[in-house]
Structure 1
């Protein structure tokens, strides 16, 4: 009897149409893996830009409630993207 290792998929930086996570099983060298790497890079860069923008806006101390809610929504979305990247990369370290 052979001992089979569990197959672990890479958590991709996007979700399916139903909002569920998408995973990729492979060696990490294919087209979808490279696309996922590029998207993760874009998401992390956008998070950096958004943090800088948020810091400037909050320093002004003249935000309306609507502007603050909009900023909070964008920060929340960005945080979810960054968390997904961290989960995906952390799982691949094991």
Structure 2
């Protein structure tokens, strides 16, 4: 699921065969929203042992990480989750807060 601001941001991306992308337009990116989290939770899971990669707004990433570990039992060594920005914070402030969280 890719979260974007404007439908014009949709791009033709070179995904391998069998990969489907769901574009989710977020018309209010400056506000907290569970839209991306809800879209991830609504996905149908395939059988097998997944490897999960998540990056995006910090609040959404935290919620998705909790879901993956708690509800879906994805092993932590098969999960990468990183918040690249946080609503309401400058990049510098976000990096300071992110370093605090990792200590």
Shorter-chain TM-score bucket reads under 0.3
User: Of the two structures, which has the highest relative contact order with CA contacts closer than 8 Å and spacing of 6 or more?
Assistant: 1
Q: Which one has the bigger strand percentage?
A: 2
The structure with the larger Rg is 1
TM-score if structure 1 supplies the norm length? 0.27
Q: Which one has the bigger helix percentage?
A: 1
